């Protein structure tokens, strides 16, 4: 592989330049898992749409993301303390194969191991997440394993390590990831196939539970007069019947919730707080909402009518 190394300058300006630079053109180690396994924050269809030029609203960095980024340095320090034979050196660079359009930003390089240089991916997670999704700190989520594999490949590192720190109990779990030629070949093949599909306009299989915003972005406008015959899809009738049942159940639950809330308002009268309800805090206060203007916009609306109801009427 012919790999470029792009140093990342310190500070927010350097971080902004890294985010907007060559990285924006690539599949990155943090997202490549979406092409190979389940990924909690990305889908293959969203990746495909982004690289086909579809623009999505960028969410600002959350306080949890910021916390993880700031704790990264402490993860490196904790690994050094638990494994004194290693020296964790911040990587501070973006590595990319320009031809493959695949990139990675390792957190640390591990120096001092007789096998050679290693790569360290630092994570933070609460105790419940570590117990449930990390097998109590023994096995990383599969998408993170692919992230480390990508980092090892692009930096030609001898081995990889994932360290996850529980910042509440200060437990740090260190898990090694070995280089595997077969896995690296599968990773490269998945990325090559992805870019071929992007070039040819071949859509990945959507995840209908997670790709609603992607499908909405891809179907913004209808073609006037265009009709699509879905009579060959035998599952759609059952799906629509199930949807009608779910809608009816939801309406019933919403009506019951509204009745309960109305009874609470009646019983509280002019009181701003109710007491004596073990395990519950109930208030009924006036809130001021400032006036605002909503800009005009056009959007497609999906309407579904149950013709069986019309026949019964």
Q: Over the stretch 19-32, which tens digit does the pLDDT of each residue have?
A: 677 788 999 999 99
pLDDT score at 18:
72
The fraction of the chain above a pLDDT of 70, given in percent, is: 94
Mean per-residue pLDDT for 241-256?
93
Q: Pick 71 or 75 by higher pLDDT.
A: 75
C-alpha to C-alpha distances, 96 to 1, 100, 254, nearest whole angstrom: 10, 8, 52
Backbone angles phi, psi at 173, to 5 degrees: -105, 125
* Angle at alpha carbon of residue 40, lines to 168 and 210, rounded to 5°: 135
The pLDDT confidence band at residue 303, using thresholds 50, 70 and 90, is: low
The pLDDT confidence band at residue 17, using thresholds 50, 70 and 90, is: confident
Largest interatomic CA distance in the chain: 80
Mean per-residue pLDDT for 250-269?
92
What's the whole-number average pLDDT of the chain?
Answer: 89
Separation of alpha carbons 77 and 80, rounded Å: 5
**Structural domain spans, the chain:** 3-200, 235-284+297-312
Query: Beta partners for 118?
Result: 110, 159
Query: Beta partners for 282?
Result: 274
**Burial readout 187-208 (b: 16 or more C-beta within 10 A, e: otherwise):** bbebbeebbebbeeeebbebbe
pLDDT score at 102:
97
Residues 6+ apart with CB under 8 A from 125: 133, 134, 164, 165, 166
CATH number for the region 3-200 comes to 3.90.320.10
Backbone angles phi, psi at 166, to 5 degrees: -90, 105
The pLDDT confidence band at residue 249, using thresholds 50, 70 and 90, is: very high
Q: Over the stretch 184-243, which tens digit does the pLDDT of each residue have?
A: 999 999 999 999 999 999 999 999 999 999 999 888 888 889 898 888 888 988 998 999
Residue 43 gets the label, from left (phi > 0), alpha (psi -120 to 50) or beta, of beta
pLDDT score at 304:
47
pTM above 0.95, yes or no: no
DSSP string, 112-158: S-TT--EEEEEEE--HHHHHHHSTTTTS--HHHHHHHHHHHHHHT-S
Of 69, 48, 64, 33, the C-alpha closest to 148 is 33
């Amino acid at each position: 592989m012919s790999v470029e190394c792009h140093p990342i300058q310190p500070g927010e300006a350097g971080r902004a330049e890294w985010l907007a630079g060559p990285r924006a053109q690539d599949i990155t180690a943090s997202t490549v898992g979406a092409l190979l396994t389940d990924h909690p924050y990305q889908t293959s269809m969203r990746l495909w749409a982004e690289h086909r030029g579809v623009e999505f609203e960028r969410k600002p960095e959350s306080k949890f993301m910021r916390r993880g980024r700031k704790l990264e340095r402490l993860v490196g320090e904790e690994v050094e303390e638990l494994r004194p034979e290693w020296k964790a050196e911040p990587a501070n660079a973006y590595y990319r194969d320009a031809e493959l359009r695949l990139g990675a930003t390792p957190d640390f390089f591990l120096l001092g191991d007789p096998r050679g240089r290693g790569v360290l991916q630092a994570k933070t997670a609460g105790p419940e997440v570590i117990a449930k999704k990390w097998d109590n700190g023994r096995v990383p989520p599969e998408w993170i394993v692919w992230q480390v594999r990508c980092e090892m490949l692009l930096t030609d590192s001898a081995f990889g390590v994932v360290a996850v720190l529980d910042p509440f109990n200060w437990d740090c779990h260190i898990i090694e990831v070995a280089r595997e030629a077969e896995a690296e070949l599968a990773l490269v093949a998945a990325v090559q196939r992805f870019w071929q599909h992007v070039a040819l306009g071949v859509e990945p299989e959507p995840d209908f539970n997670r790709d609603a915003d992607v499908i909405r972005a891809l179907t913004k406008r209808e073609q006037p007069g265009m009709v699509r015959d879905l009579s060959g899809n035998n599952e759609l009738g059952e799906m629509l019947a199930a949807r009608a049942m779910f809608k009816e159940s939801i309406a019933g639950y919403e009506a019951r919730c509204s009745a309960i809330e109305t009874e609470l308002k009646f019983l509280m009268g002019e009181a701003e707080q109710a007491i004596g309800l073990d395990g519950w805090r109930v208030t009924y206060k006036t809130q001021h909402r400032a006036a605002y203007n909503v800009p005009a916009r056009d959007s497609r609306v999906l309407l579904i009518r149950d013709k069986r109801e019309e026949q019964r009427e």
